[in-house]
Amino acid sequence: MDKIIKTIAQELNIKEKQVENAIKLIDEGNTIPFIARYRKEVTGGLSDEILRDLGERLTYLRNLEQRKEEVIKSIDEQGKLTDEILQAVAIAKTLAEVEDIYRPYKQKKKTRATVAKAKGLEPLANIILEQKETKDIKEIAKEYVNIDKLSDEDKKNKDKVVKTVEDAIAGALDIIAEMISDEPKYRKQIKKICYREALIVTKASKENEKSNYEMYYDYNEAIKYIPSHRILAINRGEKEGFLKVKIEKPEDKILNYIERDIIKGETQFTSMLKETILDSFKRLIEPSIDREIRSDLTEKAEEKAIKVFGKNSKQLLLGAPIKGKTVMGFDPAYRTGCKIAVIDETGKVLDYTTVYPTEPQNDVEGAKKELLKLIDKDKVDMIAIGNGTASRESEMFVADMIKECKRDVHYVIVSEAGASVYSASKLATEEYPDINVSIRGAISIARRLQDPLAELVKIDPKAIGVGQYQHDVNQKKLSESLTAVVEDSVNKVGVDVNTATPSLLSYVSGINNTIAKNIVKYRDVNGKLKNRKELLKVPKLGKVAYEQCAGFLRIYDGDNPLEVTAVHPESYEATEKLLAKIGFDKNDLKDKEKLEDLRNKLKNVNVAEMSKELDIGEMTLGDIIEELSRPGRDPREDMPKPILRSDVLKLDDLKEGMVLTGTVRNVIDFGAFVDIGVKHDGLVHISEMSDKYIKNPSDVVSVGDIVKVKVINIDRERQKVALSMKV
């Protein structure tokens, strides 16, 4: 365990004590959000992201140690365990290294070498490998020809017969070829050479075929430099049959390296050993090394893509809510009509309909009349337009329509990724059993504007669609990563226990699907919860779950004003003592006039001294002071608000040099896509993000950011716009 702690501490650049304490908390069943928020003193303030990385490495390194034990035990049972093997296994840092060491001792399927060994040719192989014998090898090999020594029955079995001297030598060389391919130090060095000097080379599978992969039809790049998005693009191109991919290595260098280690001067065995080394490399080593390198590159690329996807998703989930507004959700379409749903400020559906302002019906006047009537009747403040099919035409229609509006109405373009997945889901059916599937998408679009987090948790995170190649990566890892992202986001914001849906509650620390449903059932039967302690009456929600979830659940208009904050019940006593020491009590949190005075007093608290007086950690006290300064604050309020539009911009309106304001929709390895109000998002390439060198676009922008951009190129034929942030 000490070794694992040391390794993680070095990798994450944190103290061993922090790692040790974090592991103890994880092993005790505490969730990452709970540890990150309420056990800062124990972990030295490790963030949820570092704790997630720590948890992943902990699982990997424990699996590695377990595999090492299994390998040592297996080799020992074969009576072949040596100090060298023990040492090699002990210093191995990856599962791949351990498997390379174990390779010679694995139970093998039938191979040319195993057949040759069964024929008794191993001693001959050893003679050739030792290169000491001066007697002609053909003379020595005669002793291994057994055709005359076998029974008639055995002669029928090819796997037992050595007919000629040539057969004996060939069999012995097959044994040597496998021994070379099984040698861990060769495999390790060959991989090292490949990672340093090999190229990934791609060619077109079919000449002159049009595809998205044309840049890779005659392409090569050094393995050590190729970025993750190119690896995933090449993999997809190969999978779809457009590309042939190979790894080009410095073959002579590799063969020379093995030859220097095996061949001991010029002897009668030299040329046959050279041929055997080449055979071993081509037939046995190269195919498996290629697989391992491709697999390793893919794994690293997937890891990067999953991280990017997670980061983008988190930003989307933490998008600023639009509170207190009645919203019209507008789900655009052509033939089947645009679906409309109006929801009030609490998310309740007021009206829904279908209009046909787009092709083929083009009933612009009829649609306008109906929607203006709804806007007036339901006092609509904003229109949320989905960004899918027919979005552009719908936006032009809406921009034109609101000019005739009596009310001050703006529209916002909202990502509708996953809305159709949600519409047809079991959850949507439970929420809106009497509403048509097609209308549910419009409700989801409207609600996403009001509260992105509450709505997006209902959708499979993969369907949110902010990333690259999310359908090509390891789906289990992607799912685990995105679930963790949603969990961290939900717990960062906090959840109103009296209004939250089961899908939102299920992401709260310590609450599973069953407990989430039980909370809603309890609410339905007993009315609103008045305090956090009442949670203990919810079936299946015991003391352990209560400890994990209580601080993340908010109770507004309840018995205890502290419960609109993230202050944990375990800190109530210390919090009330703090308030008393500066001349306040918890009920003053409800009084807006006293709140300003309280804030000023809290600013002047000496945290180091007060933490000793209250017998509470400094980090915990710092969090309590922050919560008391802004009780009931939604952290998303600090996020950029969506851009409100009232007029439409066409591609034809764009000119090079124009400066516009846009919303970052997606961040990828090579840049960011920005919505500037035309049909297709413009691309800001990484080289156009800053005058300084940028390693990663996500260091500069995040999904949802509002940015100023300059139009630097317009490809009207392909409808692509290149943008620059160097405004």
pLDDT, tens only, 401-415: 988 888 889 888 888
Confidence of residue 72 (pLDDT cuts 50, 70, 90): very high
Predicted local distance difference test score (pLDDT) of residue 647? 63
Going from the C-alpha of 591 to that of each of 68, 174, 598, 631, 637, the distances in angstroms are: 62, 87, 10, 11, 21
Q: Which of 722, 641, 627 is nearest to 676 (CA)?
A: 722
Enumerate the β-bridge partners of residue 684: 672, 723
Mean pLDDT of the chain: 89
Q: What single-letter DSSP state applies at residue 156?
A: T
pLDDT score for 472? 78
pLDDT digits (tens, 9 = 90+) for 416-426: 877 777 888 88
Cα–Cα dist 553/493, whole Å:
10
The reported pLDDT for the residue numbered 474 is 83
Q: Which tokens in the block code for residue 136?
A: 């002609």
Average pLDDT for 696-702: 85
Tokens of 139: 């003379």
Q: What is the pLDDT of residues 428-476, one digit of tens each?
A: 888 888 888 889 999 999 998 888 888 888 887 777 766 666 677 888 8
| Average pLDDT of span 127-132 | 92
Lowest mean pLDDT among 266-280, 429-443, 515-529: 429-443
Kindly indicate the confidence band of residue 365, based on its pLDDT and cuts at 50, 70 and 90.
very high
Q: Coil, strand or helix: which one is 109?
A: coil
pLDDT one-digit tens code per residue, 276-331: 999 999 999 999 999 999 999 999 999 888 888 888 888 888 888 888 899 999 99
| CA pair distance 143, 154, nearest whole angstrom | 18
CATH of domain 2-105: 1.10.10.650
Neighbours of 63 (CB within 10 A): 11
The least confident of 280-294, 494-508, 700-714 is 700-714
Gap between the Cα atoms of 638 and 633, Å rounded = 10
242 token code pair = 């457009």
List pLDDT tens digits, range 591-643: 888 888 888 888 888 989 999 999 999 999 999 999 998 888 888 877 777 76
> Taking the domains of the chain in order of start, what are their residue ranges?
2-105, 651-724
Q: Where residue 15 falls among pLDDT bands split at 50, 70, 90?
A: very high
Q: 344-356, pLDDT tens digit by residue?
A: 988 889 999 999 9
- Contact between 218 and 203 under an 8 Å Cβ cutoff? The reply is yes
Q: So what's the pLDDT on residue 465? A: 63
Q: Which of 466, 411, 448, 407 is nearest to 643 (CA)?
A: 411
- Backbone torsions φ then ψ of 283, nearest 5 degrees: -85, -35
- Residue 151: per-residue pLDDT: 67
For the residues of 643-687, what is the DSSP string, one character each? PPBSS---GGG--TT-EEEEEEEEEETTEEEEE-SSSS-EEEEGG
Q: Say how far apart CA 360 and CA 337 lie, in whole Å.
A: 9
- pTM given for the model: 0.80
Q: d(Cα 578, Cα 584) in Å, to the nearest integer?
A: 9
Say whether pLDDT at 10 is over 80.
Answer: yes
pLDDT reading at 340 higher than 90 = yes
pLDDT band for position 178 (cuts 50, 70, 90):
very high
Q: Provide the pLDDT confidence category of residue 259 given band limits of 50, 70 and 90.
A: very high
pLDDT of residue 467: 62
CATH superfamily, region 651-724: Nucleic acid-binding proteins (2.40.50.140)
675 φ, ψ (degrees, to nearest 5): -85, 115
What per-residue confidence (pLDDT) applies to 31? 95
**Can you state the angle between helices 48-77 and 475-493, rounded to 10 degrees?**
150
Q: Cβ(197)–Cβ(210) under 8 Å?
A: no
At position 315, the amino acid (one-letter code) is Q
Give me the helices (H) in 344-434, please.
364-378, 391-401, 419-423, 426-431
pLDDT band at residue 363, thresholds of 50, 70 and 90?
A: very high
Show the CA angle centred on residue 687, arms to residues 684 and 689, nearest 5°.
55
Percentage of the chain lying above the pLDDT 90 cut: 52
Give the whole-angstrom CA distance, residue 54 versus residue 43. Answer: 12
Which amino acid is located at 132 in the chain?
A: K
Q: Which residues pair with 341 in a beta bridge?
A: 329, 352
Q: How far apart are the first and last CA of the chain?
A: 53
Contact 424, 439 (CB under 8 A): no
Looking at the chain, the whole-number percentage of residues with pLDDT higher than 70 is 97
Residues 88/75, Cβ–Cβ less than 8 Å: no
DSSP states along 588-602? GGG-HHHHHHHHHHH
**Single-letter code of the amino acid located at 522:** Y
Band (511; pLDDT cuts 50, 70, 90):
very high
How many C-beta atoms surround the C-beta of residue 131 within 10 A? Answer: 16
| Fold match, 2-105 / 651-724 | no
pLDDT digits (tens, 9 = 90+) for 382-399: 999 988 788 878 888 998
More confident residue, 189 or 633: 189
Q: So what's the pLDDT on residue 308?
A: 83
Q: In 3D, which of 56, 48, 47, 1 has the Cα closest to residue 24?
A: 1
Rounded to 5 degrees, what angle do the CA atoms 90, 95, 96 make? 110
